[in-house]
Structure 1
Amino acid sequence: MKFWRRALAVSAAAALCLSGCGGDAGSGSKTEQTGEKTEAVETSEETGGGVLKFGAQVTDTQLANLSPFATSGTYIEWYKLVYEQLLYFNEVTGELEPALADSYEWNEDKTQLTMKLNEKAAWQDGEDFTADDVLYTYNVLKENPVFDKYALWEKLESVTADGETIVFQSKDPFVALPEYISQIYIVPEHIWEKEDAATFTNSEPIGTGPFIWDTYTTGTSVSFHAYEDYWKGAPKLEQAILMMYNSAANCTLALLKGEIDCTTGTIAMSSLPEFTSKENAKLQTYSGLNNFCVMINHENPQLADPAVRRAMVMAINQEELISKGEYDGVLPTYITWLPDLFGDNVNKEAAASVSYDLEEAQKILEEAGYEKGSDGIYAKDGEKLSFTYYSASGAPAQQMEAGMIQEWLKALGIEITPKLATWAELSQLAQNGDFDLLQNSIAFPPDPYAALNTTFHSSMTAESGSPTPGTNYFRYRNDQVDSLLEQASSLSDETQLAELYQEIQQILAEDCVFLPMYNGSGHIPYYDGTNLTGWTDAEAPIFSTANLINIRAAE
């Protein structure tokens, strides 16, 4: 029986812990919310009485659909309180850990994955967690391909159960399957089978996680109370409250004023020095499963020209972007996509093959037949290089960084029309291909094959105007990349896989698929010791079950 292996060769994790004078964070009192009113109530000494207040930039629109199957435009961080996967990928340690499955084992040729389920887990309404819930969840993905964003059912033949044992059968070796599984939340069949999963918005979520969805106060907050029968043990906190803010600036202000204990990653980076100067203030950073970039729509005829894309990439001063925009609090996104989290699988030589050089960028355009007009804009065959550029509204750092990138592109000789959209709108625009250039983040599974396949294989995209089945929002299509990924999908030899990953990344660097910004998964600000204590930032993400069940009221 196989237990938990190290999923990646290297994990890049660090905690920046600075303390100074002053500072206050959150509230240790439990709150009960109804409508617009917030009332203080007595806390239980038996449970510790702690209340976690965590902040995020989130709108009511992002909470209109609470389905874990939702593919875009939703705020997903709350899932970590309520729902669980069969396996959990720990981004700090780089390891797969048990969750709703206790263990797994492969057959010899990696076409059959057998999992033993966690028999201690139970749904928050008291119903038993069973294999039927797993079968139902994966059948929803099969029957609703739009939910199967990793196209698992293109590789799977069946998912079956024998008692509390689950068997995943694939057509060919599927080495990345455990990492994919770590991204799929399991839902309760006894609730969902009564609904149409394709349209069900799940207004009263029930999961197996450590906290139970309680009260949603429109535009203000969502409260959760501790699930005392949680299989890992009852949380030491009594309550967790998501405080909703309409901008990163307002969320950051609440953090600086001590009105919240942490955020799920939101912080105006210009305020980072002020935050880290406060007493008990800490910032957890780690390389993670989320890259910020400027997406390029390859279906735009001008952007389909590799010379234009390469010139644009070379016009961006990424080092200055990270220094001034993110105060060096993040790691770079590579033009080869895979972050340092993937260790030796990262093609560092290819990643360094394209660098900032404005003069060379202009030379590339001119050699490709573009001529600069009197207005300073390059054109070819009477068509100016002129594009719309979408970025997030209500996000000061994003807007500042968008301004920097737009100015660099203008200096190159490209006309830019800036446009703002909410995070939810950006997700929809990206998925449907309704953009020229769009600045946002893209998440990916914790496996090099999975990360490359879901983002760059042509089967993971769609014609502009139709939603993508995966996260290839670039509308990128390269037959050679497809072929190499298809070869990788049926291999289990790590040396052969590594060679294919290196080759794929070399092609991505040559094609300049997107404008790289930074890896944005893990920079979590929090206060340790003011109102709450017990965080373990070296062992797991701050906003993870490992921390959520162990943090407690500070004495």
Structure 2
Amino acid sequence: MLNKSRYPLFIVFVILVAITLFACESNEQTNEPIEKQKIEINNVKMNDEPLGSVEITGALYATPTGVFNPIFIQDAYEESILSFTHEQLVTQNESLEFIPQLAKKWEVNEDYTELTVYLEEGIKWHDGEKFTAHDVLFTYQVIADPDYIEAGGLRTAFVQPLLGYNEYVQGNVEEFTGIQVINDYTIKFVYKEPTVNPLFYISAPIIPEHIFKDIPVADIPNAPESTQPDKVIGTGPFIFTHLEEGDRYVLKRFDNYWQGQPFIDTVVWQVVAPPVLPGLMESGEIDFIADPIGIQPPEVNKFSNLTKITLIEQSDFNYQLLGYKHNHLTPDDIDAGIINPNNWVANDKLSTEIREAISYAIDRNKLIDEVYDGHGTVLHAPIPIQSWAYNEELSTNYNYNPEKAKSILDELGYIDTEDDDKFREDANGNEWVLNFNYPTGNEIREKTAEHIQVMLNEIGINVNMRKSDTFAQYIKDLSNNSNDWDLYLMEWDIPTIDPDPSYIWQTESPYNFSRWHSPESEELLNKALSTPDAFDEGYRQKVYKEWQQIFSTDLPALILFSPNTIWAYNERIQGVNPLPTTMFHDVHLWQVKD
């Protein structure tokens, strides 16, 4: 059983989802040097040297909260700014594989309990100090510190599997044995048990020991070194130099950047109201809009006809779903704050056949067209379409087929026999109404709910629409599993690196809001992470294929679609080479052509 009181669902559930399991990699990998001469990106020949005082401006929709420390940030706008100033040991490529960044190679021992990382040499912090393995050790000690969470830190997922974490975070020992400095440029990560995803745990952004070592961990987020731009120190290609509160955030190129001097001199982040952004991009006052929000689908037409503006559109790493309540918690379990599937009460209103009928009745392409102006991708499984584990050959894809939906209900005896009101009664001739809950405050989600109601009405299902005034209240009620809930809407951010869906769909997960209980699913989810077989990606791919077939058959939810991410930039910026996860890739190679 799982005690729900340990999980503040409606505060951090999206953050927890975003930092769950990541993928394994090869035992050794090296970082090929980047050749600065005669570079070509997207068939555009680049200059050999920086061009001098060249400035570009990016848009932010809201003012950052003001903590510019990458292991303490809670604001996506701050994260965008710091993606130009700070780095990790490893990053991702266009195939979502781990590749070196501050690390140049690594080795994993035979039982996957130790990861030895060899660092690039000659890297300098923005203040000229050398980057070494001691900075890595210090960063992980801060994240594991007993005061880290209390100070607002959220990134303990990077340290929890490491040896000695529990003893260190409880203050029982002074040495964190899970990470060991071998020499200035070699560091070892030691895990409590074999892990199929060791490289995730070395992907935390690194902060400088010499800047923060004398500051108590509890004071780091509010220290000048985390809040004043001229004191924020990283290893990235740009230095955070100054800000005008609530308006402009200015970065200057780092001339001693280890991968070569950036071509662009200045990057300015400007806080911009969304309605005026198209005009500012047309006039050249804003050069790019990307992370964290980009361009919302209803606004795309305002940008698509702008001259000299390039749009980048690709499937995002989140999805919308229509959830089916398989079971409900008991009042006693709700009061006790526990999740015990042995006590669950089946929802007799949603049999497997009824879930299938509903799924065939939903026109997901129409939802994308009507709600997202066509800027979305239909998904058939709760795994990113970009992932190696996504299975396009599911046993059932539930493509729109309202006649089949009606036929299924007819065969079950769900027909309109009593009052000719065009709504079906159940097989016993009783009134049949499905309760459909959704939160307010998100126009797109509200429109989705309204369209689904119409689609279900069209096949004779009477739907009782019920709104929650706030998203927090919605999550609380959804988690408590009120016994009259049948259908619900949810959006999930999903990991960009590892496809493991356990955090949502394991039986006792607090996020398994459908209260789906499938022994076959449990067995496969565990197999996909069980060593040593799970070290083989091909093995995991096969297991997840089987799991997706069970998901599509048992239908804890209908995965509706993934909205597209849409970014834009002025064509005077050359060398933009986006990844599936970000447009801010190799920004030191960006150039301006005026």
TM-score by length of 1: 0.72
Query: Contact conserved, 2:281 with 2:287, CA < 8 A, in 1?
Result: yes
- TM-superposed CA distance for 1:474, in Å, is 7.0
Match of 2:319 among 282, 292, 296: 292
Match of 1:23 in 2: none
Q: Partners in 2 of 1:458 and 1:72 — Cα distance?
A: 29
Match of 2:207 in 1: 187
- Structure 1 residue 339 and structure 2 residue 360: aligned? no
Q: What value does the CA root-mean-square deviation take over the aligned residues?
A: 4.5
- TM-superposed CA distance for 1:160, in Å, is 2.1
Cα deviation 1:297-331 (Å, max 9, x = unaligned): 96866997575765554443221223344444443
- Structure 1 residue 102 and structure 2 residue 104: aligned? yes
Cα deviation 1:463-502 (Å, max 9, x = unaligned): xxxxx7xxx7877665544443333222223332222111
Match of 1:119 in 2: 121
Indicate how the Cα distance of structure 1 residues 365 and 398 shifts in structure 2: closer, same or farther if over 3 A, else same.
Answer: same
Match of 1:447 in 2: 498
Unmatched segments (≥5 aa) in structure 1: 6-14, 18-44, 463-467
**Percent of residue pairs bearing the same amino acid type:** 23
Q: Partners in 1 of 2:262 and 2:346 — Cα distance?
A: 51
Indicate how the Cα distance of structure 1 residues 521 and 274 shifts in structure 2: closer, same or farther if over 3 A, else same.
Answer: closer
Match of 1:389 among 421, 438, 446: 438
- Structure 1 residue 261 and structure 2 residue 287: aligned? yes
Match of 2:227 in 1: 203
Query: What one-letter code is carried by the residue in structure 1 that aligns with 2:383?
Result: L
Query: What one-letter code is carried by the residue in structure 1 that aligns with 2:227?
Result: S
Cα deviation 1:16-75 (Å, max 9, x = unaligned): 99xxxxxxxxxxxxxxxxxxxxxxxxxxx9753222222243x34x63555534696644
- Name which one, 1 or 2, has greater alpha-carbon Rg: 2
Look up the SS of the partner of 1:77 in the other structure: helix
Cα deviation 1:244-271 (Å, max 9, x = unaligned): 3455x55455445544222115223344
Query: Contact conserved, 1:56 with 1:266, CA < 8 A, in 2?
Result: no
- Structure 1 residue 553 and structure 2 residue 577: aligned? no
Aligned residues: 491
Indicate how the Cα distance of structure 1 residues 526 and 413 shifts in structure 2: closer, same or farther if over 3 A, else same.
Answer: farther
Match of 1:500 in 2: 543
Indicate how the Cα distance of structure 1 residues 211 and 505 shifts in structure 2: closer, same or farther if over 3 A, else same.
Answer: same
Look up the SS of the partner of 2:207 in the other structure: coil
- TM-superposed CA distance for 1:428, in Å, is 11
Q: Partners in 2 of 1:482 and 1:142 — Cα distance?
A: 31
Match of 1:353 in 2: 397
1:130-529 mapped onto 2 (5 Å cutoff): 130-143=132-145, 147-148=154-155, 150=157, 153-154=160-161, 158-163=178-183, 164-179=185-200, 181-182=202-203, 184-193=204-213, 194-196=215-217, 200=221, 202-204=226-228, 205-245=232-272, 247=274, 249-252=275-278, 254-255=280-281, 258-264=284-290, 266-287=294-315, 290-294=317-321, 296=323, 307=352, 313-334=359-380, 336-343=381-388, 345-350=389-394, 352-358=396-402, 385-390=434-439, 393=442, 400-401=447-448, 403-405=450-452, 407-408=454-455, 412-418=461-467, 433=479, 437-448=488-499, 451-457=500-506, 461-462=509-510, 480-489=520-529, 490=531, 491-520=534-563, 522-529=565-572
Look up the SS of the partner of 2:189 in the other structure: strand
Query: What one-letter code is carried by the residue in structure 2 that aligns with 1:442?
Result: D
- TM-superposed CA distance for 1:102, in Å, is 1.0
- TM-superposed CA distance for 1:444, in Å, is 0.4
Look up the SS of the partner of 1:505 in the other structure: helix
Unmatched segments (≥5 aa) in structure 2: 1-26, 32-40, 44-48, 165-177, 330-344
Query: Contact conserved, 2:158 with 2:200, CA < 8 A, in 1?
Result: no
Q: Partners in 2 of 1:431 and 1:165 — Cα distance?
A: 49
Query: What one-letter code is carried by the residue in structure 1 that aligns with 2:567?
Result: I
Look up the SS of the partner of 1:503 in the other structure: helix
Indicate how the Cα distance of structure 1 residues 362 and 540 shifts in structure 2: closer, same or farther if over 3 A, else same.
Answer: closer
Look up the SS of the partner of 1:497 in the other structure: helix
- TM-superposed CA distance for 1:119, in Å, is 2.5
Query: Contact conserved, 2:432 with 2:462, CA < 8 A, in 1?
Result: no
Look up the SS of the partner of 2:544 in the other structure: helix
Query: What one-letter code is carried by the residue in structure 1 that aligns with 2:259?
Result: K
- TM-superposed CA distance for 1:508, in Å, is 2.7
Q: Partners in 1 of 2:351 and 2:195 — Cα distance?
A: 33
Match of 2:167 in 1: none
Q: Partners in 2 of 1:452 and 1:207 — Cα distance?
A: 34
Cα deviation 1:281-307 (Å, max 9, x = unaligned): 22223455x122147496866997575
Indicate how the Cα distance of structure 1 residues 444 and 238 shifts in structure 2: closer, same or farther if over 3 A, else same.
Answer: same
- TM-superposed CA distance for 1:89, in Å, is 0.6
- Structure 1 residue 49 and structure 2 residue 46: aligned? no
Q: Partners in 1 of 2:85 and 2:201 — Cα distance?
A: 20
Q: Partners in 2 of 1:378 and 1:123 — Cα distance?
A: 70
Indicate how the Cα distance of structure 1 residues 210 and 219 shifts in structure 2: closer, same or farther if over 3 A, else same.
Answer: same
Query: Contact conserved, 1:211 with 1:225, CA < 8 A, in 2?
Result: yes
Match of 1:536 among 538, 563, 577: 577
- TM-superposed CA distance for 1:522, in Å, is 4.4
Query: What one-letter code is carried by the residue in structure 1 that aligns with 2:379?
Result: T
